[in-house]
Amino acid sequence: MASPTPSSVPSSGHPPSARAPINWVATIMFVVTGLVAAVGVPLYAWFFDFSLAAWVWFLVFLWASGISITAGYHRLWSHGAYEAHWSVRLFFMLFGAMAVQNSILIWCAGHRPHHRFVDDAERDPYSATRGLWFSHMGWMVRNHPSGEPDFGYVRDLERDPIVAFQHRFYVPIVLAMNVGLVALVGWASGDLWGTLLLAGFLRLVLNHHFTFFINSLAHYWGTQPYTDENTARDNPVLAFLTYGEGYHNFHHIFTHDYRNGIKWYDFDPTKWLIRGLASVGLARKLRVTPQIAIERARLDMQFKRARARLESGAVTRGRIELAQVRERIQKEYEAFTATLAEWSATREQWASAAKERVARRLEGVDLQAYAREIEARLRAQRKRVQALTLQLA
């Protein structure tokens, strides 16, 4: 599916609420922090230079606040992709507040509807169909109705004492982390103003825009290997800037997986951190999408692209050859549906194996080994369909 253009009008026909009242708090924050980072940082570097300690604290706080959004606000609290020890949740709560992206409760009250109504111009708070600027920052600088947090989506989080505490004392925590802590480490290292500029202002601006890239660029730039039912895209460049969040096409179809980059070489530090926490007992119940479901989604997209290519009229091969390719694709699709039906039937039989007759029939069957066999069959078929698609290029 082609990406929407920044000037596109929402499919609903309802234009962006250009006359929505300005959110002065957000607007002033973005303007002031942006100006200080763009003007103050270079001027200070020219006249005074920054100490090594200021750069170190910049990197430490950039990582801590960024990873607290991805591993904490996003994968832990928004999607329940795993469970974490109270000490880990406390860390994510404090440094998530340092990122100044609102409280956990409000952040999740906006993010959950984004997934439920993705690309809906009226119900998705930062719908990409309303333009690149809107999905990046525009939805925050005006009080659009679609951006109003709906706490009905986060009743479970209201019972989390750490979440509730942060929501109640959000402003004092933000000031303590962004002013108090940054000033303290700057004073202790002998470079108060340099640390405030680098680890305070520049770090905050980068934190903001790296996160906002996922709402905007990750819905415009990249590939769609798993689904084209929404605008989300996989982009390894954005993954590098966002601690692994750039594999956004995968995330939008498999929302509750603790991973975004599923391949061993995918750059996903958030995934590595969660897995590391689990290895030392600080995280548990890591949710993982069955590999069969992933292979099925990828193969579905291969069939869709092959058929679209055939029906586009852009292929110039002879009629007989095209008919042969079409027939082979149809046979592959029939084999695909038969494999899925076989797997579904076996899994259902296994689930109902309490009945003695079924239990005897499935005696000795290793469901995990069978699942691996199905995965291998789907992977092999995906390669065949990909080869057929390449013939149509």
144 lies in a domain? yes
Q: Which residues of 110-149 are buried (b: 16+ CB within 10 A; e: fewer)?
A: bbbbbbeebbbbebbbbbbbbbbebbbbbbbbbebebbeb
| Closest-CA residue to 266 (of 282, 252, 249) | 249
| pLDDT at res. 299 | 78
9 lies in a domain? no
Query: How many Å apart are CA 61 and CA 148, to the nearest integer?
Result: 29
Query: How many Å apart are CA 159 and CA 392, to the nearest integer?
Result: 55
| pLDDT at res. 327 | 60
Please tell me the pTM assigned to this model: 0.81
| pLDDT at res. 384 | 65
Segment 42-47 shows an average pLDDT of 94
Same domain, 131 and 159: yes
Radius of gyration of the chain (CA): 25
Query: How many Å apart are CA 257 and CA 297, to the nearest integer?
Result: 15
DSSP assignment of 41-79 = HHHHHHHT---HHHHHHHHHHHHHHHHIIIIIIIIIIIT
Query: Domain containing 298: what range?
Result: 291-391
Phi and psi at 3, nearest 5°, equal -75, 145
Which region among 4-13, 123-132, 315-324 has the lowest average model confidence (pLDDT)?
A: 4-13
Same domain, 233 and 344: no
Question: Which regions of the chain does DSSP assign to beta strands (E)?
Answer: 83-84, 283-284
Query: How many Å apart are CA 310 and CA 323, to the nearest integer?
Result: 10
* 374 vs 121 pLDDT, higher one: 121
Query: How many Å apart are CA 390 and CA 302, to the nearest integer?
Result: 11
- Work out the burial of residue 243: count CB atoms within 10 Å of its CB; fewer than 13 is exposed, 13-18 middle, 19 or more buried: buried
Same domain, 267 and 156: yes
- Return mean pLDDT, the chain: 84
Residue where a domain terminates, one of 284, 319, 337:
284
Report in angstroms the alpha-carbon separations of 150 from 91, 106, 143, 278, 338.
26, 8, 14, 32, 43
Residue where a domain terminates, one of 254, 284, 314:
284
Segment 342-352 shows an average pLDDT of 58
The torsion region of residue 114 among left (phi > 0), alpha (psi -120 to 50) and beta comes to alpha
15 lies in a domain? no
| pLDDT at res. 50 | 95
4 lies in a domain? no
| Helix/strand/coil for 80 | coil
214 lies in a domain? yes
The single-letter code of the amino acid at 11 is: S
Residue 360 makes CB contacts below 8 A (sequence gap 6+) with none
Same domain, 164 and 78: yes
Report in angstroms the alpha-carbon separations of 345 from 150, 340, 342, 351, 377.
40, 9, 5, 10, 17
| pLDDT at res. 23 | 93
Same domain, 244 and 299: no
Same domain, 241 and 315: no
Cβ contact 278:286 at 8 Å? yes
338 lies in a domain? yes
Provide the number of structural domains found in the chain: 2
Same domain, 221 and 301: no
Q: Which tokens in the block code for residue 336?
A: 């695909």
Residue 49 makes CB contacts below 8 A (sequence gap 6+) with 194
Same domain, 337 and 270: no
Same domain, 208 and 301: no
Residue where a domain terminates, one of 236, 269, 284:
284
Q: Output the furthest CA–CA distance in the chain (Å, rounded).
A: 84
Residue 341 makes CB contacts below 8 A (sequence gap 6+) with none
307 lies in a domain? yes
pLDDT in tens, 86-121: 999 999 999 999 999 999 999 999 999 999 999 999
| pLDDT at res. 338 | 64
pLDDT in tens, 292-320: 788 788 877 877 777 776 666 555 555 54
12 lies in a domain? no
Same domain, 111 and 204: yes
- Work out the burial of residue 56: count CB atoms within 10 Å of its CB; fewer than 13 is exposed, 13-18 middle, 19 or more buried: middle
What is the 8-class DSSP label of residue 2?
A: P
pLDDT in tens, 154-171: 999 999 999 999 999 999
Same domain, 233 and 342: no
Same domain, 301 and 197: no
| pLDDT at res. 271 | 97
Segment 137-143 shows an average pLDDT of 94
| Closest-CA residue to 142 (of 133, 155, 150, 151) | 133
* 268 vs 392 pLDDT, higher one: 268
